[in-house]
Chain A
Amino acid sequence: MTTTNPSPTGAPAGRAAPVRYPFPWTPPMEIPEVLRALRERAVVRVTLPSGDTALLVTRYVDVRSLFADHRLSRNIARPGVARISADNELFVDPNIDPDPPAHTRVRGLVTKAFTARRVEKLRPMAQRIADDLLDAMAEGPRPADLNEAYAFPLPIKVICILLGVPPEDMVTFRRLVDGFLSVTKLPPEEVGVCRRDLWKYLGDLIEAKRTSPGGDLISELIRVRDEDDNRLNEHELRFWVQGLLIAGYVTTASQIGAGTAVLLHRRDLLEQIKADLSLVPTAVEELLRTQIMGSSIGTMRYAVADIELSDGTVIPAGSSVLLSEESANVDEAVFPEPFTLDIRRTENHHMTFGAGLHYCVGAALARMELQVATETLLRRFPGIHLTVDGATLPRALGGFMEGFTQIPVDW
């Protein structure tokens, strides 16, 4: 595939010099500079790591309504849709129908495990995991890497318990998932091996659970599947288990790490939260709003019809479309002083978990984990600090998420 979007006819959308996407993290600890002027146009044409181009929607009002718009299909396995990576198909799977009604049917089997009541039942378990990890960190070498000591193992252990995945498999699946999420980091052959091995690992896991089921979500989905093939077929089952395992820790871990790094860099905010831990929930939301851990490349969609935006700009049918959560989240039409980190912000309806029919399944779980992680860390280690200048922390580039590679801390 060389050409991607048919050239726009009618009112042209985003016709200007192409802009690289994801945007560079300049400065590294702040909301990217490029976001300041981005909303002058409702749509910006961007060039992806693959070299393909897509239309990036910039304004809150449009992003929010397009997340719920049926004229944007999530079926990006069709020919002509822009690729994110030239070396990795990522979440594209021609055997999955990610649009309603098929998507709605399967999603409904999963969401019931993520209600407020079910998530709150998991809170004490997340708390115990956080306490144990910090006990181990206190005994370990100093400085510690917050990613490896805390930010990654916490959500990994939680999702393993929820899904019934043996935690000792962590080393294996983390390596495979890293390859699965490579955009430019690994050559295509290595990506291919990781994808195949991950798919096989999940198949073996499902078979093992079929033989000896437990009280976990995978066993529950297997039960549904074996009762009625029309509700969930074997391929869908494995695809969703894969999605839940990956989305279940990669995003949350990157956000725990990057969000905490920002707080440790901004001592003024850190001191306020330490003095009043009841600020943790609004601080967590505010750190989510600044979307410090990655871009919106995962929102790729395909326009099945012309779509007129709020200012009259038309996205032509056939376009590949990205919904910029990070730009919507700093839209001055919605958020007062959007470039200021306000840990007390209450009207904070950010787009970091999306909106509409694909709204993040795990949002309540992620929020709970972020709250537990932040509060427990600050309570246990009031003196915690970065051992290097936060502005020099290296970004994890070349993958789906763009948190920090290492976060050295002492206490």
Chain B
Amino acid sequence: MSPVDAQTRAVKTDIGGTDIETGFRVVADTHSCAVSSLCVYRAAAVFDQDDDGHVTVLDPSPPPALHEDVRRAARSCPTRSIRVFENGVQTAPDPAADNH
């Protein structure tokens, strides 16, 4: 799935999908990704890498069982390229530590 598709799908599930209760959304920035592969190891059902190794999001609204793995992937990303929003609020990585 292209990043554009992923965006569209995320918005759709926000509007009408079952994820509305948790409102859990993952976004990733391909341009700042440094190809550490950490997120893929942490949550292979949610993150993948394109041919150049840059992050792609397979499932922008993963099921609750994966939420903690995804939050941890966001915290461990060495370039802070992954963000998790829950009910519209960024929950990982800690926005207070985002000074760049």
Bound Cα distance from A177 to B21, whole angstroms: 57
Would A310 and B99 count as touching, CB distance under 8 A?
Answer: yes
B87 within 8 Å of A by Cβ? Answer: no
Would B49 and A354 count as touching, CB distance under 8 A?
Answer: no
Bound Cα distance from A363 to B52, whole angstroms: 16
Bound Cα distance from A347 to B53, whole angstroms: 24
Would B37 and A364 count as touching, CB distance under 8 A?
Answer: yes
Would A347 and B97 count as touching, CB distance under 8 A?
Answer: no
A267 within 8 Å of B by Cβ? Answer: no
Bound Cα distance from A114 to B33, whole angstroms: 13
Would A114 and B79 count as touching, CB distance under 8 A?
Answer: no
The residue on A at minimum CB distance from B98 is A65
Contact with A along B47-67 (1 / 0, CB 8 A): 001011100000000000000
CB within 8 Å of B: which A115-133 residues: 115-117, 119
Total contacting residues, chain A, CB less than 8 A:
29
Which of chain A's residues have a CB closer than 8 A to the CB of B25? none
A24 within 8 Å of B by Cβ? Answer: no
> Within the complex, what minimum Cβ distance (angstroms) separates B97 from chain A?
7
Would A364 and B100 count as touching, CB distance under 8 A?
Answer: no
**Which among B37, B79, B99 has the highest number of chain A CB atoms within 10 Å?**
B37
The residue on B at minimum CB distance from A346 is B72
Given contacts A356-B34, A356-B79, contact A114 B100 (CB under 8 A): no
A160 within 8 Å of B by Cβ? Answer: no
Bound Cα distance from A69 to B99, whole angstroms: 10
B6 within 8 Å of A by Cβ? Answer: no
A353 within 8 Å of B by Cβ? Answer: yes
Would B97 and A111 count as touching, CB distance under 8 A?
Answer: no
Would A116 and B51 count as touching, CB distance under 8 A?
Answer: no
Bound Cα distance from A358 to B79, whole angstroms: 10
> Within the complex, what minimum Cβ distance (angstroms) separates B23 from chain A?
24
| Sample (6) of A-B pairs whose CB atoms are under 8 Å apart | A68-B79, A112-B51, A114-B35, A116-B49, A360-B36, A364-B41
